[in-house]
Structure 1
Amino acid sequence: MSLADQVLAVNDDLPIRTHKPVHSGKVRSVYWLTEEDSKRLIQEKGYDVAPDAPLAIMVISDRISAFDCIWHGEGGLKGVPGKGAALNAISNHWFKLFRENGLADSHILDIPHPLVWIVQKAKPIMIEAICRQYITGSMWRAYSKGEREFCGIELPDNLEKDTALPHLLMTPSTKGILKGIAGVPEADDVNITRQNIEDNFAAFNFSNADDIAIYEKLLSEGFGVISKALSEVDQIFVDTKFEFGYVNDAAGNEKLIYMDEVGTPDSSRIWDQQAYQQGHIVENSKEGFRQFLLNHFPDPDILLNKDRMPEREALAKNNILPLEALMDISKTYTAIAEKITGKAIVLSENPKQEIVDILSSQYGLID
């Protein structure tokens, strides 16, 4: 059994029964179940959702995306061993903690396999909800060039790189390309202000203006719960991205929930606390891989400059990365997952076959 066999790289070709095209993102693939299968599972498993709620199987891969490109390595390695299982395990852990602390539910109804979620369809809020506790990354790059306003928030002078901000900042950006909103460019992932959201709450998919405060409360409380738990294992929660959406429960009530993943090394920066106190940064997140790529290629501007996207895509496609680089990031993901959850991340021998067997025997979803 080669290492490449233990990596789930292609996750959009499973024989899961569906009448719709499989939606495949950078890391996850979504299979919408048939109406019959959705209704049957809701009844059989007793999920707390509307009886006619559309359900989907979400399969995470081990693909590694950075700078909006998918990267691969030596030995036919099309991803990072253990990455998918680590991300799911971390998200599952935080969602459970959110429920225990009386925060909102998530879109996840069931976890048949470490790489699989059964989810309910949600109406997404079209905002990448970003929270920052420290000034680093893109915010620092802009600040160091003299920018003092972020998402309508004024920052003081004399902040230093990688230091704590005066308070937790919410710096939202657009999720997808939103059209016809005054003052908001028609591009993905552009910074927006709270005023933009208030003035156009329906365009961002909020059901009513009051829910803006609820999303901010869930964002700040979720950040606080994760930050506290990470500090107990000597880690610093630096910044993160949350996503939210609406669903109806079994009684038909609409509620705002957490969506996608939360507090993972893909969606957050996590620093080792002891190293930080000694004056240097040890990244326990994908940021370490981004730094490797910036140092690995002679012209890092290709990775940072959105105007050079064709060159960047060619770079990712045509370069096989050293095995060591992918194994380093594998260690980062699995080690932080084990630290957070207190449980070992076990690599599957044949992840695809395991998923098919479980969804066939326990869920009746394989043709």
Structure 2
Amino acid sequence: MTIAQQVLAVNDDLPIRTDAPIHSGKVRSVYWLTATDSARLIRDRGYEVPADTPLAIMVISDRLSAFDCIWKGEGGLAGVPGKGAALNAISHHWFELFKEHGLAGSHILEVPHPLVWIVRKAKPVKIEAIARNYITGSMWRAYSQGERNFCGIELPEGLEKDQRLPDLLITPSTKGILKGIPGVPEADDVNISRADIVANYADFNFLSVDDISCYERFLSDGFKLIEEALADAGQIFVDTKFEFGYVTNSDGEQELIYMDEVGTPDSSRMWDASAHAKGKIIENSKEGFRQRLLEYFPDADILLNKERMDEREKLASDNELPAEFLLDVSKTYLSTVEQIIGRKLVLSANPRAEIIHILAEEFDLID
């Protein structure tokens, strides 16, 4: 079997029993289970959730998303070998660490396969919760062009590229296109201030104003836990994105939890600590791939300018990147997950067949 065949690029056509449309995002696909199957799994697997909680099978792919587009490589390489398994393993590791330290729970109930989560239904908070320890990436590009106010926070003059910030900076942005909120542009992924969220907390799906402070505490506490653990693994935690949502807990109450993924090379920047001590930046995250794309294409503005999305999408669909671009991402992700969880990942030879077999034999979810 070739490397390309080991990649799970298509994850929205599995024969998982469902009576709802399959939701397929850039990387994950979600199969909502029937009410009967959800209730059966809750009972038989002993999940500590209300008996009528809707459950879903979440299948992560190996697709590579950057600048809001999916990228492919030469030789039929439609994704990054081991990427999905690495992201799932890292996220699950951090979620378990959060629980050990008394932080919030997550939407994950079980991990039946390296590319699969069984999750409970959550109502997402409509913000991307971003925390930054260093000024780099898009923030540096804006700062270098004279911008000083970020999400209502004024940064001092004289900062340098890749410099550590005086304090952990929380810079939220919108998740999805939100309409009718005063002062908030109707576009995806636009910066918002804490004042915006407080004034319109219900529009962002917060149940109370107090929960804004709660999400900020979960974000900063989670960041610090990951930062300390990564430091032990020789990594610097630069910045990250968390997502939050509400679930109904076993007492029937609404509870704020972590959801999606946390602390992964996809959602975070990580730098090699030993290289950084010598004044060199070595990216151990998807940021290295982003930089490579910016250098590879003659007109980098297509990748950076949101008003040129049509051109960007055509660029991604019409170009097969050198295979080494994607294979280098694979090396970075597999090395990073090994450092974080303390063991090597055993990659699936045929992930699609394995997933179907497990969900059929152990969960009776395949038609």
Same fold (TM > 0.5): yes
Shift of 1:343: 1.3
Any idea what the Cα deviations from partners look like across 1:99-156, whole Å, max 9, x if unmatched?
A: 0111000000000000000000101100100000000011111111111110000111
What's 2:247 paired with? 247
* Counterpart-to-counterpart distance in 1, 2:156 and 2:286: 29
Whole-angstrom distance in 2 between the partners of 1:151 and 1:337: 32
In the TM superposition, residue 74 of structure 1 has moved relative to its aligned partner by: 1.2
Separation (CA, whole Å) in 1 of partners of 2:200 and 2:311: 36
Shift in Å, 1:193:
0.5
Q: What secondary structure is seen at the aligned counterpart in 2 of 1:26? A: coil
- Give CA-to-partner distance per residue, 1:288-334, whole Å, 9 cap, x none: 00011111111111111111111111111111111111110100011
Unaligned runs of 5+ in 2: none
Q: Which residue of 1 aligns with 2:229?
A: 229
Q: Report the Cα distance in structure 1 between the residues aligned to 2:136 and 2:3, rounded to whole angstroms.
A: 35
Between the aligned partners of 1:192 and 1:269, the Cα distance in structure 2 is 21
Residue 45 of structure 1 corresponds to 45
Q: Within 5 Å, which residues of 2 pair with 1:204-223?
A: 204-223=204-223
- One-letter amino acid matched to 2:15: P
**CA apart distance, 1:345:** 1.5
Determine the structure 2 residue equivalent to 1:314. 314
Q: Provide the C-alpha distance between the structure 2 equivalents of 1:69 and 1:37, rounded to a whole number of angstroms.
A: 34
Matches of residues 160-179 of structure 1 in structure 2 within 5 Å? 160-179=160-179
Pairwise CA distance, 1:249: 1.3
Matching residue of 2:257: 257
Q: Which runs of structure 1 show a deviation greater than 6 angstroms over 4 or more consecutive aligned residues?
A: none
Residues 39-188 of structure 1: pairs in structure 2 closer than 5 A = 39-188=39-188
Q: Unpaired segments of 5 or more residues in structure 1? A: none
Distance 1:171 1:36 in 2: 41
Residue 269 of structure 1: SS of its match in structure 2?
strand
2:277 is aligned with what amino acid? Q
Q: 1:346: Cα distance to partner?
A: 1.7
Determine helix, strand or coil for the equivalent of 2:11.
Answer: coil
- In the TM superposition, what whole-angstrom CA distance separates every residue of 1:242-288 from its partner, at most 9, and x where no partner exists? 00000011221211000000000000000000111100100000000
Tell me the SS of whatever aligns to 2:337.
helix
The secondary structure found in structure 2 opposite 1:340 is helix
Once residues 93 and 257 of structure 2 are traced to their aligned partners in structure 1, the CA distance between those partners, rounded to angstroms, is 16
- Give the aligned partner of residue 324 of structure 1: 324
State the percentage of identical aligned residues.
Answer: 70
Alignment match, 1:190: 190
CA-CA distance at 1:347 after TM superposition:
1.6
**What letter corresponds to residue 349 of structure 1 in structure 2?**
A
The DSSP-based 3-state class of the residue aligned with 2:363 is coil
Q: Deviations over 1:35-69 (max 9, x none)?
A: 00000000001111111010000000000001111
Normalised by the size of structure 2, how large is the TM-score? 0.99
Q: CA separation in 1, counterparts of 2:343 and 2:257?
A: 26
Tell me the distance in 1 between the aligned counterparts of 2:122 and 2:163: 36
The secondary structure found in structure 2 opposite 1:188 is coil
**Which residue of the partner structure matches residue 363 of structure 1?**
363
Match of 1:354 in 2: 354
Amino acid of the residue matched to residue 69 of structure 1? Answer: C
Q: Distance in 1 between matches of 2:9 and 2:92?
A: 21
Q: Secondary structure at the match of 2:57?
A: strand
SS at match of 2:343: coil
User: How many residues end up aligned between the 2 structures?
Assistant: 367
C-alpha separation in 1, matches of 2:177 and 2:297: 30
The corresponding residue for 2:333 is: 333
Aligned position for 2:270: 270
- What is the DSSP-based 3-state SS (H/G/I as helix, E as strand, rest coil) of the residue aligned with 1:75? coil
